[in-house]
Amino acid sequence: MVRFKNLNATPPQGFYEYELDGVMVQDRSRFGICAKVRELRTSKGLQTTGDGLAYVMDYMCPSLPNGFCNQPSTVKVIRVQEIKAATAAMFGARLVPSDVAERRLVTCVSCPMHTRRGVCVSCTGLISWISRGMPGRGALPADQASGVCLIDGVLAAASVSVADRPLTEGVNYPETCWRLTEKAL
């Protein structure tokens, strides 16, 4: 049975989650998620064995970084120091107008290679850090929903603001990536 290595550790994204029949429940505390799991399972006519944490672990472990659970995972570990270093390399670059950056960011947020797991841009101050490193870049409505581009390893909010950025060689970008569609124009 798949389990967290440390039952008292909060998952890396800062909350627990469980989904059943398309209904997702989340909570920041173990006690809270267990209550929500029992309630959700009861609403679907299912019994809950134990406090419900086993269902949460079974649901979450496949999508958590390798090492958090007792079974291996294929999820890439996101190291904030590496992301910040790659993002800082864009500081000083020419910026696009905010409407272009906003359009790009909306595309990024819906991309399967974009993640917020393990990186909260607002609660860690990363959005403010980007603003300091990119003077003239205004706040965008989608900033709070942004995270990391898993392909380039940079903060999406910064990447979308740069006017000219070459594609990373040898990388397969999703067909919907704004970096591909804008290169075709």
pLDDT in tens, 129-175: 999 999 999 889 889 889 999 888 999 999 999 998 888 888 889 99
Check residue 118 and give its pLDDT.
67
Say if CB 34 and CB 48 are below 8 A apart: no
CA dist 140 and 124 (Å) reads: 17
Residue 14, φ and ψ in degrees, nearest 5: 95, 0
Q: Which amino acid is present at 120?
A: C
pLDDT at 111 over 80: yes
Check residue 13 and give its pLDDT.
75
What's the pTM value of the predicted model, to 2 decimals?
Answer: 0.65
Check residue 183 and give its pLDDT.
63
**DSSP 3-state of 113:** coil
Comparison of pLDDT for 12 and 94, the residue scoring more? 94
What whole-number percentage of the chain has pLDDT above 70? 97
Say if CB 10 and CB 68 are below 8 A apart: no
Check residue 65 and give its pLDDT.
79
pLDDT at 91 over 80: yes
DSSP state of 118: T
pLDDT at 105 over 50: yes
With the CA atoms of 147, 152, 76 and 139 taken in that order, what torsion angle do they form, in degrees rounded to the nearest 10? -10
Check residue 120 and give its pLDDT.
74
pLDDT at 23 over 80: yes
pLDDT at 185 over 50: no
Check residue 112 and give its pLDDT.
86
Q: Which residue has the tokens 């594609």?
A: 167
Check residue 121 and give its pLDDT.
81
> Going by C-beta distance under 8 Å and a sequence separation of 6 or more, which residues neighbour residue 111?
149, 174, 176, 177
Check residue 103 and give its pLDDT.
94
Q: How confident is the model at residue 84 (pLDDT cuts 50, 70, 90)?
A: very high
